[in-house]
Amino acid sequence: MSTEPSSTTPTATDTVPAPRFGVWLIGARGSVATTAVAGCAAVAAGLHPPTGMVTETTPFTDSGLPSLSSLVFGGHDTVDCPLPKRAEHLAAGGVLPHGLPSAVHTELTAADREIRPGGPLPGRDDDRTTDALIDTFAADLTDFVRRENLAGAVVVNVASTEPAPPDGHLPPSSLYAAAALRAGCPYVNFTPSTGLHHPALSEQAATAPVPHAGRDGKTGQTLLRSVLGPMFLQRALDVRAWSGTNLLGGGDGAALADPAAAAAKNAGKERVLADTLGAAPQGEVHIDDVPALGDWKTAWDHIAFDGFLGARMVLQTTWQGCDSVLAAPLVLDLARLLLRAHSVGLTGPRPELGFYFKDPDQGASSSLGEQYAALVDFAGRLRGRS
């Protein structure tokens, strides 16, 4: 008698649907979030190659990462512009390819249905305690996982950069981070905002039964700095000064027009140099909001250095990039890596993901080459587990 299942006999693959995983975006209606949702759908449908996605390269082939088509999006935001409309704006600005918003309209609408009101909002949330807000955000997350029948969900903060909070006060990014832990979800802080880096959360962050990683995605100027810094050091060239200027518009440019928010961002950019060179060289980083540029950023670096016999030299670089397009594939990479790390039982801060961040978790190298080696090693550890 044949042991092959007949065409009418249900097989394991017929009866057990493939697991799906949630990606809960804080700032779900922003440029980075919209580009991640639209980009994931486009790549999963084969409309575009996965350019910029490190997790689609060979070292990750057998790491057991969730497929792009298994990802289900939702999140919190404080504005209510529908995601398909937000995507149209990005296409009009040249960020998304023309025609993509209509090609992935179904996926954008599905994600839009899963976006819940964020906070805290003046007027609405004035009388609510910190604990009540964390509870509400955590309940939104657990409802999402239950409603969509997900095998798990990761929270990724891509909301507007907030200024450093006054002492003792839990800023919105920390409320969401605490909610992620309360709901048992892995957490990624892609922004320079406080998130889990708050003294009131430090113990929870260190002992969290879920993996987490941060902070502030490294996509442009700092990416370049983390390559060039070690180069100067290894060639025994003496960096005297390193100055940088950024021009950008969009929501991020507007948020960073606030000097307190810009200070939070610039601290990460300058820390990379201090860490790679051993001491901070002279020079500052400036960010100018130029609304006409939208998501297109220009970053100049001017590096004054000394060579043999004290010869004075200068390296200047110009980076022209589309911010959300640089960030979105990294958001998808991080979501997949943290989901997999969670399902194989890894917990706590993950310095192995320092490759992605300006201000990585303690223990990460600040050189991109060493960070990449640690990431590839991590891919192997994910592979080795069932």
Task: Fill in the per-residue mask, 327 to 346: x = in contact with ligand NAD (CB under 6 A), - = not in contact.
Answer: x-------------------
Alpha helix locations (H) across the chain? 12-15, 31-44, 83-92, 100-103, 105-113, 130-147, 172-182, 202-207, 221-234, 250-255, 259-277, 323-343, 368-383
Identify the residue among 63, 189, 191, 366 touching ligand NAD (CB under 6 A).
191
Identify the residue among 136, 219, 365, 366 touching ligand NAD (CB under 6 A).
219
Taking CB under 6 A as the binding criterion, the range among 70-78, 132-140, 194-202, 335-343 that sits at the site for ligand NAD is 70-78
Judged by CB under 6 A, the chain residues 118 through 147 that form the site for ligand NAD are: 118
Identify the residue among 63, 174, 276, 324 touching ligand NAD (CB under 6 A).
324
Give which of 107, 88, 5, 89 is closest to 47, Cα–Cα.
Answer: 107
Task: Fill in the per-residue mask, 284 to 323: x = in contact with ligand NAD (CB under 6 A), - = not in contact.
Answer: ---------------------------------------x
Judged by CB under 6 A, the chain residues 367 through 386 that form the site for ligand NAD are: none
> What's the CA gap between 299 and 256, in Å, rounded?
14
Q: Tell me how many residues contact ligand NAD (CB under 6 A).
A: 29
> What's the CA gap between 235 and 264, in Å, rounded?
31
Helix, strand or coil, per DSSP, at residue 39: helix
What is the smallest separation between the CB atom of 121 and ligand NAD, expressed in angstroms? 8
> What's the CA gap between 112 and 75, in Å, rounded?
9
What is the smallest separation between the CB atom of 327 and ligand NAD, expressed in angstroms? 4
Would you say 107 or 359 has its CB closer to ligand NAD? Answer: 359
Q: Does 217 bind ligand NAD (CB under 6 A)?
A: yes
Q: Are 177 and 137 in contact (CB under 8 A)?
A: no
What is the smallest separation between the CB atom of 190 and ligand NAD, expressed in angstroms? 5
Q: Does 221 bind ligand NAD (CB under 6 A)?
A: no
> What's the CA gap between 58 and 77, in Å, rounded?
35
Burial 301-313 (b: 16+ CB within 10 A, else e): bebbbeeeeeeee
> What's the CA gap between 43 and 39, in Å, rounded?
6
Helix axes 323-343, 31-44, angle to 10 degrees: 70
Q: Does 266 bind ligand NAD (CB under 6 A)?
A: no
The residues of the shown chain that bind ligand NAD, judged by CB under 6 A, are 26-27, 29-32, 76-79, 118, 158-161, 172, 190-191, 216-217, 219, 250-252, 255, 323-324, 326-327
